[in-house]
A = this chain, B = another copy of it.
């Protein structure tokens, strides 16, 4: 699937609104066309089914996520610590800027048909690969001392995703403050304090 045209982007935004509001099963293609200000046939010209539009919306979310993360990572150099900070910042920015993307993922990915689901998972794997690589190199270089990199990766993704559930654009903290705190929490997980009653038996690099 290619990058959506400006017209397609209008359909994607309208579809996202309707899906988030009513769920895929109950969502009305007619309501989406109306929201987009076009005829039903104009919408069907671009997306031949509700399923097609769902996939386009979910892939658009992945595009947005990739763009934000890559922009942050572009200035981070080679140091895993700086890359981790940039990655966390990218995730925080994405979750505060586009909270509805996460909602779509939580509620609508289950409605993808097998082919779309495969394509979507394949595209998401790229995103998950970023943090996997950063952590892996950090552990290799001894920058990150965790013995459970997979748990840390999952925890970092989960805790940043959840920001969309409580972030308030009018609240006291902006994305910058939140990103700093979450980067510190990610580091706390990756470099745990060995003095908290932790058995030190299996410690050490490889």
Contacts and interface: CB of A to CB of B under 8 A. Distances in A.
Interface in A89-107: 106-107
A162 B157 contact: yes
Contacts of A188: 188-189, 192-193, 196
Contact of A106 (B24, B107, B111, B151): B107
A140 to B, nearest CB: 18
A127 interface: no
Interface in A188-206: 188-189, 191-194, 196, 198
Contacts of A152: 185
Interface string A1-42: 000000000000000000010111111000000000000000
Interface residues of A, number: 35
A22 to B, nearest CB: 5
A25 B22 CA distance: 7
A24 B196 CA distance: 45
Nearest to A163: B154
A162 B154 contact: yes
A102 to B, nearest CB: 10
A87 to B, nearest CB: 16
Interface in A127-168: 148, 151-152, 154-155, 157-159, 161-162, 166
Nearest to A25: B26
Contacts of A46: none
10 contacts: A23-B25, A25-B25, A148-B184, A154-B162, A155-B159, A158-B158, A158-B162, A159-B159, A185-B192, A193-B194
Given A23-B25, A25-B26, A158-B159, 8 more contacts: A22-B25, A23-B107, A25-B25, A151-B185, A159-B159, A184-B196, A191-B196, A192-B193
